[in-house]
Copies of this chain bind each other. A is one copy, B any other.
Amino acid sequence: MVKALAPDVRPIEELDKRTQRLVKLAMKARKKAYAPYSKYLVGAVIVDTRGKIHAGCNVENANYAGTTCAEQAAVVKMVSRGAREIRRVVLVTSSDEPVFPCGFCRQIIIEFGPHAEVTTVNRRMTQFAQSTMDELLPAQFSKKQLHS
């Protein structure tokens, strides 16, 4: 067994230009978030393996359980456009530090991107952290396990 990963947090200036552009799209999506209960706005951008970009925001519900996370929203949008493979996820949350997707989102992402790269940026867009789905959700439960 390896030790749990502790992702490096780095200043946003170190992020490459292409990813900075994706961060801006995620921040734009975040502005549409519907989060009257948590006040925790999230924007997410997915890049599929054909290079197409799909943006989503979180959408809450009065029953709480009916909340759709931003990453899930972006995945669903990707699928509705006929794409099936995620290369990258870029995220802007409402936390002071870069925060990775919750376990629910990780499960939904790996259905289409078991090895996807994840970049997350804090609210003030001053810091980022990066990881992969292999690291963020090791020993994944997916179709293969369900059918074995």
Contacts and interface: CB of A to CB of B under 8 A. Distances in A.
A100 interface: yes
B135 A137 contact: no
Given A34-B79, A106-B103, A137 B139 contact: no
A84 to B, nearest CB: 7
Contacts of A29: 80
Interface string A125-141: 00001011011111111
A20 interface: no
A148 B95 contact: yes
Interface in A43-65: 55-57, 59-65
**How many of chain A's residues touch chain B, expressed as a range?**
35 or more
Identical chains in the assembly: 4
A87 interface: no
Contact of A100 (B3, B96, B141): B141
A36 interface: yes
A99 B64 contact: no
Contact of A143 (B36, B81, B103, B136): B36
Interface of A: 1-8, 29, 32, 34, 36-38, 40, 55-57, 59-69, 72-73, 75-77, 79-82, 84, 93, 95-97, 99-108, 110-111, 129, 131-132, 134-143, 145-146, 148
Which 7 pairs, one residue from A and one from B, show the smallest C-beta to C-beta distance?
A103-B107, A4-B134, A63-B102, A102-B141, A64-B67, A103-B103, A65-B67
